[in-house]
Amino acid sequence: MKLSPESPVPERSVAVHGRIQQLDGLRAVAILVVLLNHTLHIPLTWVGVDIFFVLSGFLITGILLERKLEGQGYFSYFYTRRVFRIVPSYVLTIVLFGLIISWRVFEPWPLFAFFGMNLQQFFHLGQLPFEPPLWSLAVEEQFYLVWPVIILMVSEKVVLRLAVAAVIVTPLLRVLCTPFFATLFPIYQLTPFRADLLCAGAVLAILWKRRTPAQEAWVRGRAWLGTVAGFGGLMFVQIWPVFRLASNTRASNGLDYSLSVLGSFSLVAWTLADRGWLRAWLSSGPMRFIGQISYTMYLSHIMFLILVERYVSSRYLMTVATIGTTMLYSWLSWVVVEQPLIKYGAKLSPRRKMQPVG
């Protein structure tokens, strides 16, 4: 079939095609940036988590829209697969952390049992050793209690409008609520203040689905500018202390996160549209391998960091050892636990016909 410049690109979502190879590579970039943040404490590498958020919003929104369009099992399909993807590695890592490091960090236990670790500031628990990788998982799971319902109940056009509205309103919410918090952590970790990242991914999912060849070419040639503007702008404003997250000011909470949203959104769009070196690099075997095991790497790296720090004093050697042991454990977890259970969950996922709404 010949396409006119205005014809939509005939590509369906990841729900049909499976894994998008270059996005696995982008997951690898995100997890490595997160590991550098927690090992070498490189400034601004917290944006690795933001890239994960945009990726999640993009992928999950595409899957949900596809399921709704096809009239197949919706909630049961989504949550069955979500449980088999998230819970096994989560439980295994908690058990190992308790056995190797300490069980005391898992108090109060309901926060861990019900994905509420981003609420720990309200229980005056301070910064817990195992908290860094879990607050963002809590944000995602809380968001996905609501987002599938919205997608099912309203049309795709309304979903797009709601997602755009969230991207606009969330920074205003951060600015308005800043005076109510003594530290940066509530703004940094609570779902209402980070929803713009997930919704930016949702916006991209819908726009990418509707794109024409001309629009894709436009993104291919210009998305890198948004990436540079977002992340470069974030680096630039750090010249002034008022724009550093630690200052917990309206200026920092209003601008810093929004610049990260711009950079992360543009990077994901660039990754999708690119046909040159970026796609080739991100689609390479090593990058896709790291991306495939990135979830367990994210969950477990703090455990191995604490262990390695007991025996290694050199910061750089400690970084290498932490990344190496984390990758080895995550690969074993993928082969022995996660991959078999994911396949089993796929078999359980019902494909019952249903009437789409909207």
DSSP 335: I
Residue 105 near residue 54, CB atoms below 8 Å: no
Residue 315 near residue 341, CB atoms below 8 Å: no
In angstroms, rounded to a whole number, what is the distance separating the alpha carbons of residues 327 and 333?
A: 10
Taking residues 308-337, report their average pLDDT.
95
Predicted local distance difference test score (pLDDT) of residue 353 = 45
The domain total for the chain is: 1
Residue 201 lies in a domain: yes
Residue 251 lies in a domain: no
**Beta carbons within 10 angstroms of residue 114's beta carbon:** 12
Residue 263 lies in a domain: no
Residue 58 lies in a domain: yes
- Confidence category of residue 129, pLDDT binned at 50, 70, 90: low
Residue whose pair of structure tokens reads 């010249």 in the numeric block: 239
Taking residues 122-134, report their average pLDDT.
66
- Confidence category of residue 18, pLDDT binned at 50, 70, 90: low
Residue 262 lies in a domain: no
Taking residues 203-228, report their average pLDDT.
96
Residue 15 lies in a domain: no
pLDDT in tens, 39-66: 999 999 999 999 999 999 999 999 999 9
Residue 33 lies in a domain: yes
Residue 247 lies in a domain: no
Residue 284 near residue 25, CB atoms below 8 Å: yes
What domain range is 134 assigned to?
A: 24-214+279-348
In angstroms, rounded to a whole number, what is the distance separating the alpha carbons of residues 14 and 255?
A: 32
Question: Where is pLDDT greater, at 123 or 299?
Answer: 299
In angstroms, rounded to a whole number, what is the distance separating the alpha carbons of residues 67 and 78?
A: 9
- Confidence category of residue 5, pLDDT binned at 50, 70, 90: very low
Calculate the average pLDDT of the chain: 89
When mean pLDDT is compared across 52-56, 126-130, 331-335, 351-355, the lowest value belongs to 351-355
Rounded to an integer, what is the distance from CA 336 to the centroid of its chain?
A: 24
